Amino acid sequence: MSAPQTPSERALLVGRAQAKFDAIRVDYPPQTSAMAILDEVRIAGLYREPDIPCGGAMIVAPTGAGKTETIKGLRRILNSNATEGQIPLLHVEIDKAGTADSVPTSILKALGAARPEAGSEKTRWPRAIAEIVNRRVELIVFDEFDLAAKRPTMSGPIATGIRQQIMDAEIAPVVFVGSEAADTVFAQVPALRGRLDDSADLSPMLWSVPEDQNLFLKFVSNLDQAMVDANLVKCESGFAGDTFAHPLWQASGGRLRPICKIARHAMSSVIRESRDYISREDLALAVDTLPNNEKSCSRNPFLTGVG
């Protein structure tokens, strides 16, 4: 691999490599199980008897545990079999405003409706419901549901509005996704929590639990090999080996997103410098670039003397 001669050539090479990395799909059994649970909720909604309210499920896990990728993975599968104009899985992100009238607006945005914020809450809900029916939505996922807890006085109305307007009205099953703060919303609306038929476990992998440790080692080993298979690096770097495995777990806290961010940044360093594999120094630099809210240790475990 010859080094690019200009900054623009180097940027092109690294950018293409990052795009290839982002397309990598590594099997992670808890994520596969979570996708299956959500699909079961969708199918149960399709086959329920008339006049029976729709059920739902929840995924509550820390930031970076793979919640959003689970939703995107199922959406990719459902979209591949969707009819023209259909949105089988509607992925709605709760607005940071955290108000009851922002919910139908968020739904309309997710549906791609024109002027989603137009009108009052009273008129936006009927618009949102009509669009959901028109696009033949089979499952609605409310992501970042923990944002509803940022304004405690609005948590109840937001959750109740979703239950009444969608679940009780037999429109579609609903999945709530968020960090641990979402639990405070469910606590305020026990009628909603009682409607949720299942939950998916995407807890971080714990090094002290043998099953979790084995799961972690298999995931990072497969990610290491996937980068070779994608011709991003020439040989495996030994993510699952004694030298890198535990520091990588320390830095990521056993969560998928930080693991992938660390690997992606380290791979980019290798591409820039036209080397063959990821080194400890690459991983140390990658850990330093993690956002503070995704760091799981106060000191960089890849630096000399830290382990």
Chain segment 74-102, per-residue pLDDT in tens: 999 999 999 999 999 999 988 776 667 78
Interval 214-220 mean pLDDT: 97
Cα angle 307-248-286, degrees, rounded to a multiple of 5: 105
Q: Which residues are registered as beta bridge partners of 178?
A: 60
Where are the extended beta strands (E) located within the chain? 56-60, 89-93, 139-143, 174-178, 196-200
Stated pTM of the model: 0.84
Whole-number Å distance between alpha carbons of 176 and 259: 24
- Average pLDDT of the residues of the chain: 88
Whole-number Å distance between alpha carbons of 259 and 220: 8
Work out the end-to-end distance of the chain between its first and last CA atoms, rounded to an integer number of angstroms. Answer: 33
Per-residue pLDDT at 306 exceeds 60: no
Ordered by where they begin, the domains of the chain are 29-200 (3.40.50.300), 205-294 (no CATH)
Chain segment 31-60, per-residue pLDDT in tens: 999 999 999 999 999 999 988 999 999 888
Per-residue pLDDT at 215 exceeds 60: yes
pLDDT confidence of residue 33? 93
Per-residue pLDDT at 304 exceeds 70: no
